[in-house]
Amino acid sequence: MARRSRIQEEIKQRKPFHSLGQEAVISLLRTADVVRAFFERQLGPHGVTLQQFNVLRILRGAGPQGLPTLEIGARMVERTPGVTRLIDRLERKKLVRRERGTRDRRVVYCLLTDEGRATLDALDSVVENADVTAFESLDEAELEQLIGMLDRARSAHD
């Protein structure tokens, strides 16, 4: 009898996977979904989604000059076609503001507001704790190995 993997149990799949590659892809996607949901639960009480947090983090790193919307989209951890809508929501929450470029009026820069910076400052410890908790079942060597394997898997698709 063929072994039943944990991912098969989780998704209640009775038949074996077609290949180890298929099992790895499904396991990776399921893991990403579980970790994403965990982070959403940590950020939710603070009124920020994971994608909104990512935009705020990117803008904090950009400094006082901010970034154009397209550049924010390119830096997102999870690519999304709705960056403008994300920024609209953050602007309504008064966490970011937009300014037209002085050299090229067609370019709109997004900047972190003081309220946005305060929100990020408050979330720093929440996210640091979540980072540790998300993979607390792995030791440092295993985390380094996982990071290396994920880097190699992504580089095959660059």
> What is the domain partition of the chain in residue ranges?
48-155
pLDDT of residue 3: 67
Backbone angles phi, psi at 112, to 5 degrees: -75, 135
At 21-58, the pLDDT tens digits run 998 999 999 999 999 999 999 999 999 999 999 999 99
User: What's phi and psi for 99, nearest 5 deg?
Assistant: -140, 140
Question: For residue 47, which of 120, 108, 104, 135 has the smallest C-alpha distance?
Answer: 120
Beta-carbon contacts of residue 97 (< 8 Å; ≥ 6 apart): 91, 110, 111, 113
Question: For the domain 48-155, what is the CATH code?
Answer: 1.10.10.10
pTM of this structure: 0.86
pLDDT of residue 106: 80
pLDDT of amino acid 1: 46
Below-50 pLDDT ranges, the chain: 1
How far apart, in Å, are the Cα atoms of 53 and each of 5, 108, 116, 130, 144? 34, 20, 10, 13, 25
Sort strands 67-68 and 96-100 into parallel, antiparallel or unpaired.
unpaired
pLDDT, residue 47, reads 93
Positive or negative, the Cα torsion across 115, 104, 72, 51? positive
- For residue 149, the one-letter residue type is M
